[in-house]
Amino acid sequence: MNDMRSDILKEIQDEKEREKGLQSIRQARYYNKNKQRLSVNRDKKANALSQRNIVVRNKQQLIDIMGGKCLDCSKSFPISVYDFHHVNPEEKESTIRFGWKWERILEESKKCVLLCANCHRIRHINNRAA
Ligand SMILES: [Zn+2]
C-alpha cells in the first residue's frame, strides 16, 4: 500500500517536472518568435518615458527661471497648473512645446509671462472684452 502511494506521488512529481520543462520551452519559443517585436516595444516604452522626463524637466526649469509664481495672483502651484501667456499675441510664434530644444523654449518664453491656468483664462477673457 505504501509502495503504491509513493509510486503515485513519484508519477505526479515527474508529471510536474515535465510540465515545467515544457513551459520553459514554450516561453523560449515565444521569445524567439517575437524577439524583434518585444525589444522594439521595450525601446519604444523607454523612449516615451525619457521623452516625458525631458518635457517635465524643461517645463520645471522654465517655471523656476520665471520665478515659480503666477504673475497675477502671486501663488505657487503644481507644475501642470502653469501656463505661459504671450503678452503680445502678434509676437507669438507658437505655444511653447517642452519637447523643443531648450534654446527654442527660452527664445519663445521671452515673449511670455508665467500665469496659473485660472489667471491665464481671466486674462484672455479681459483681452476679448477689450
Ligand atoms: Zn494666478
pLDDT, tens only, 27-78 = 899 888 898 888 888 889 888 889 999 999 999 999 999 999 999 999 999 9
C-alpha cell at 7: 509510486
Residues with Cβ within 8 Å of residue 84, at least 6 apart in sequence: 62, 66, 95, 96, 108, 109, 112, 113, 114, 115
Contact 62, 87 (CB under 8 A): no
Q: How many angstroms does the Cα of residue 119 sit away from the middle of ligand 1?
A: 4
The protein residues having their C-beta less than 5 angstroms from ligand 1 (an ion) are: 70, 72-73, 116, 119
Q: How many angstroms does the Cα of residue 116 sit away from the middle of ligand 1?
A: 4
pTM: 0.66
Specify the pLDDT at position 123.
94
22-41 pLDDT per residue, tens: 999 998 998 888 988 888 88
* Helix and strand counts by DSSP (H, E) for the chain: 3, 2
Element (DSSP H or E) covering residue 126: helix 117-129
Whether the CA torsion 85, 87, 90, 96 is positive or negative: it is negative
Distances (CA, A) of 97 to 24, 38, 59, 68, 108: 46, 30, 9, 18, 10
